[in-house]
Amino acid sequence: MTKVFTFLLFLLMITHVACDGNNESGQEIKKEEEQEQEQEPEKEPEKGVDVSFAEYTLEGTSCQWVNLDFDDPCPQYNLLMINSSEVLEEYIEGTDYPAIDFSKQTLLLAYGIECYNYYQDSVSLQQLSEQNYLMTVNLRPSIAVAFSEWEVAIVIDKLGAECKVELDITNK
């Protein structure tokens, strides 16, 4: 009986040593993973400050947007930063469009073409840094299956030529 007891005690000690060895290597792996995570912090998307704006529309006028050309098939998106009446007149056909004071304001004109019929749902503008902005346009699908062109124009406080505005389109 003492031989059986000694044998069981011996097995218990071997099992304990083996478990401690596995635990140490497991702890080493965890430490390595933690060090890798500390070395490579996850990049969070840039968050900015909301910028106030007024939507600019040609509804109720005899005007329409022109010269909004597309080089390739859909989808395609573009953004124009307009800081003068002369440039604005290149993109509007007609004369009774709402006035903009370009000495104090900038017009941002986002436009695109979709393979399916989408309509503009919402628009937002964020300032990411002193000279970088992000204009987000949310598009919603409609029932029709057809190519669709869309335009979104907003008026904001004057932006200098050194400012950059990035366009982000979401289709939900």
**Domain residue ranges in the chain:** 1-43, 49-171
Strand pairing of 164-171 and 76-82? unpaired
Q: Quick check: 42 pLDDT over 50?
A: no
Query: Looking at residue 27, what is its pLDDT?
Result: 53
Please write down the HEC assignment for all residues of 101-166: CCCCEEEEEEEEEECCCEEEEEEEEEECCCCEEEEEEEEEECCCCCCEEEEEEEEEECCCCCCEEE
97: left (phi over 0), alpha (psi -120 to 50) or beta: beta
Query: Looking at residue 31, what is its pLDDT?
Result: 54
Q: Of 156 and 146, which is predicted with more confidence?
A: 156
* Mean predicted lDDT score pLDDT of the chain: 79
Tell me the backbone φ, ψ of residue 14, rounded to 5 degrees. -65, -40
* Gap between the Cα atoms of 162 and 164, Å rounded: 7
Query: Looking at residue 142, what is its pLDDT?
Result: 73
Residue 68's pLDDT band (cuts 50, 70, 90): confident
**Structure confidence by residue, pLDDT tens digits, 114-148:** 777 666 778 999 999 999 999 999 888 777 667 77
**Percentage of the chain modeled with pLDDT above 90:** 49
Place of tokens 């003492």: 2
pTM over 0.75: no
Q: Of 69 and 77, which is predicted with more confidence?
A: 77
Cis peptide before 75 (omega within 30 of 0): yes
Mean pLDDT across 46-66: 91
Q: Quick check: 51 pLDDT over 50?
A: yes
The distance in angstroms from the start CA to the end CA of the chain is: 75
The single-letter DSSP state of residue 60 is: T
Tell me the backbone φ, ψ of residue 42, rounded to 5 degrees. -70, 135
Going by C-alpha positions, the residue among 111, 99, 7 that lies closest to residue 68 is 111
Query: Looking at residue 34, what is its pLDDT?
Result: 57
